């Protein structure tokens, strides 16, 4: 019998442009689209957060169906909405769970996402789409793999469905109290180290790792790193000794249509690698608009979640009694940062902005157009992450001819090549050791190129711009993997 196209349902707690706190949303906003171009019937399902209400489509006209979801002794109704203007997407609506100002961070998160996982499996009985593969992402969707394997697959309706579980970040594991077993209808026998217990907690991440058919993570280097105690966040033995056979690293891409300096509507002046001279105008207009001195200082940009993962502690290391950040500011540089996150780091950057007016700017918010302006205006892009599963910022930076300075870890290691003056190869600057001193040294090296060897600096920019990090390669690899599973 001729089988139709491979069918894949992406399950994610955030999807761009609908709801986003980090790179996960960008991935799910882009990868399924690419897979569709390659002939897969890829669709997406996510919660319907109240803040999306009628923002992207008039939701009343997109109502599909409703049904009940059973969570232990609780019964909760859910409404399914569907829209395919951007890509075929199902939205699970429950005011009880998703009518809140934020996406996560509530004491009943275990119940909210247990509901989401069960709700998605139940949805399949009500819609006209039975996937071959359910592709889960991060802890919020871990229990789905368990529920499918241990319960739903006993029903022939579900028995052929396979699951992929992608780790976008090992650090967030979804650890909860025993009440989580209750809402998932699991007995105490699941509370063992061989199953989903983790230091006395119920681990949603473990549910995904153990009960999925394949595990992927978002770069080949990170796929190796998570098997080590430095990066494994306590799950390294499980991954390295037991689950290694089903782990694969597939590098993320970025959306080359959205991030394109040639026709980006948000930047001051469009350019390509052939007309890279025009990039300069983006810098001077940016300086003008945001009150920075109008001069040819090297502009250092950061667009990031402001969390400890991103290595901002290195700014406060000292070199001869001076903070690394102050040491950096001794050079003719300017500094701009955009993002939100932990107060400690936000305060640190506020302090620097106060100390270096006209040479630095901080925007403690997230704003896509401004982000793109920063990518286009900056000369170098700083990403000193302690760990980085893939990282999207460095890819966008290279696309905009902005030279990345990164710590050699995870996806940063897989995508940035240290520049070699002799061979003229390389796309940026890398340091290995997690120290402010080495970060400083690499910024200084970039600065020397910028000021004294402009031809080489341009070469690095061009090398980065000509690199291909579009989604096509990744989509092909996922396609191959799915094909081996069905």
Query: What's 317's DSSP letter?
Result: -
Nearer Cβ to ligand GLC (27/207): 27
Stretches 55-63, 124-132, 341-349, 390-398: which one binds ligand GLC (CB under 6 A)? Answer: 390-398
* Position among 15, 27, 117, 145 found at the interface with ligand GLC (CB under 6 A): 27
Which residues neighbour 53 within 8 Å (Cβ) at sequence distance 6 or greater?
59
The CA distance from 219 to 391, in Å, is 9
* Position among 89, 94, 169, 360 found at the interface with ligand GLC (CB under 6 A): 169
Binding to ligand GLC (CB under 6 A) within 336-355 occurs at: none
- Report whether the peptide linkage leading into residue 17 is cis, meaning its omega lies within 30 degrees of zero: yes
Contact status: 252 vs ligand GLC (CB under 6 A): yes
396: closest CA among 340, 459, 464? 464
Query: What's 84's DSSP letter?
Result: -
312: closest CA among 436, 225, 437? 436
Residue 31 tokens read as: 């990868």
Contact status: 253 vs ligand GLC (CB under 6 A): no
* CB 162 within 8 Å of CB 134: yes
φ and ψ of 422, to 5 deg:
-70, -50
Contact status: 389 vs ligand GLC (CB under 6 A): yes
Contact status: 391 vs ligand GLC (CB under 6 A): yes
Shortest separation between residue 130's beta carbon and ligand GLC, angstroms? 27
Nearer Cβ to ligand GLC (204/449): 204
Contact status: 378 vs ligand GLC (CB under 6 A): no
Nearer Cβ to ligand GLC (172/352): 172
What b-and-e string marks burial along 359-396, b requiring 16 or more CB atoms within 10 Å of the CB?
bbbbbbebeeebbbbbbbbbbbbbbbbbbbbbbbbbbb
Residue 196 tokens read as: 């989903």
Contact status: 226 vs ligand GLC (CB under 6 A): no
**In which region does residue 90 sit, left (phi positive, over 0), alpha (psi from -120 to 50) or beta (all else)?**
beta
Shortest separation between residue 168's beta carbon and ligand GLC, angstroms? 3
The CA distance from 385 to 107, in Å, is 29
Shortest separation between residue 434's beta carbon and ligand GLC, angstroms? 16
φ and ψ of 147, to 5 deg:
-60, -40
Residue 420 tokens read as: 């070699």
The CA distance from 175 to 139, in Å, is 9
Binding mask 299-338 for ligand GLC (x = CB under 6 A): ----------------------------------------
Residues contacting ligand GLC: total by CB under 6 A: 14
* Position among 11, 103, 164, 218 found at the interface with ligand GLC (CB under 6 A): 218
Contact status: 24 vs ligand GLC (CB under 6 A): yes
Nearer Cβ to ligand GLC (173/297): 173
Contact status: 32 vs ligand GLC (CB under 6 A): no
Contact status: 216 vs ligand GLC (CB under 6 A): no
Q: Is 439 helix (H, G, I), strand (E, B) or coil?
A: helix
Binding to ligand GLC (CB under 6 A) within 400-429 occurs at: 411
Shortest separation between residue 389's beta carbon and ligand GLC, angstroms? 4
Shortest separation between residue 424's beta carbon and ligand GLC, angstroms? 29
Nearer Cβ to ligand GLC (251/329): 251
Residue pointed to by tokens 């089988």: 3
Q: What angle do CA 468, 257, 409 make, to 5 degrees?
A: 45
Other CB atoms within 10 Å distance of the CB of residue 258: 16
The CA distance from 175 to 84, in Å, is 34
* Position among 22, 119, 253, 464 found at the interface with ligand GLC (CB under 6 A): 22
* Position among 388, 402, 447, 464 found at the interface with ligand GLC (CB under 6 A): 388
Stretches 91-99, 268-276, 323-331, 383-391: which one binds ligand GLC (CB under 6 A)? Answer: 383-391
Shortest separation between residue 205's beta carbon and ligand GLC, angstroms? 14
> Which residues of this chain interact with ligand GLC, rule CB under 6 A?
22-24, 27, 168-169, 218, 252, 388-392, 411
């Amino acid at each position: 019998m001729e089988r139709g196209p491979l069918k894949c349902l992406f399950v994610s707690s955030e999807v761009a442009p609908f709801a986003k706190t980090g790179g996960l949303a960008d991935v799910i906003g882009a990868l399924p689209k690419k897979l569709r171009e390659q002939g897969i019937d890829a669709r997406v399902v996510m919660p319907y957060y109240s803040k999306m209400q009628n923002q992207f489509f008039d939701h009343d006209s997109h109502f599909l169906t409703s049904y009940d979801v059973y969570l232990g002794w609780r019964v909760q109704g859910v409404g399914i909405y569907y829209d395919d203007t951007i890509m075929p997407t199902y939205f699970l609506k429950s005011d009880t769970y998703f009518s809140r100002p934020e996406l996560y961070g509530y004491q009943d998160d275990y119940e909210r996402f247990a509901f989401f996982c069960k709700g998605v499996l139940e949805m399949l009985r009500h819609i006209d789409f039975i996937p071959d593969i359910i592709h889960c992402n991060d802890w919020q969707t871990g229990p789905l793999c368990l529920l499918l394997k241990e319960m739903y697959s006993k029903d022939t309706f579900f028995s052929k469905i396979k699951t992929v579980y992608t780790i976008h970040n090992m650090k967030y594991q979804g650890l909860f109290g025993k009440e989580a077993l209750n809402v998932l209808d699991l007995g105490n026998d699941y509370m063992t180290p061989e199953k989903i217990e983790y230091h006395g907690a119920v681990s949603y991440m473990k549910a995904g790792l153990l009960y999925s058919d394949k595990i992927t993570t978002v770069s080949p280097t990170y796929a190796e790193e998570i098997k080590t105690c430095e990066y494994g966040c306590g799950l390294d033995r499980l991954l390295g000794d037991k689950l290694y056979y089903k782990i694969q690293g597939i590098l993320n891409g970025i959306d080359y249509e959205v991030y394109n300096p040639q026709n980006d509507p948000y930047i001051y002046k469009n350019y390509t690698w052939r007309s890279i001279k025009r990039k300069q105008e983006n810098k001077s207009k940016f300086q003008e608009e945001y009150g920075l001195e109008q001069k040819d200082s090297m502009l250092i940009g950061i667009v990031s979640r402001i969390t400890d993962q991103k290595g901002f502690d290195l700014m406060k290391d000292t070199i001869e009694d001076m903070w690394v950040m102050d040491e950096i500011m001794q050079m003719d540089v300017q500094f701009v940062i955009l993002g939100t996150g932990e107060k400690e780091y936000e305060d640190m950057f506020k302090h620097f902005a106060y100390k270096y007016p006209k040479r630095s700017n901080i925007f403690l918010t997230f704003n896509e157009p401004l982000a793109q302006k920063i990518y286009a205006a900056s000369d170098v892009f700083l990403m000193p992450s302690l760990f980085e599963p893939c990282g999207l910022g460095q890819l966008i930076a290279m696309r905009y001819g902005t030279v990345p300075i990164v710590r050699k870890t995870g996806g940063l290691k897989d995508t940035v090549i240290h520049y070699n003056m002799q061979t003229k190869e390389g796309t940026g600057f890398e340091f290995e050791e997690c120290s402010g001193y080495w970060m400083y040294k690499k910024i200084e090296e970039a600065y020397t190129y910028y000021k004294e060897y402009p031809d080489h600096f341009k070469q690095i920019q061009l090398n980065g711009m000509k690199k291909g990090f579009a989604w096509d390669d990744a989509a092909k690899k996922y396609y191959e993997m799915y094909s081996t599973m069905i």
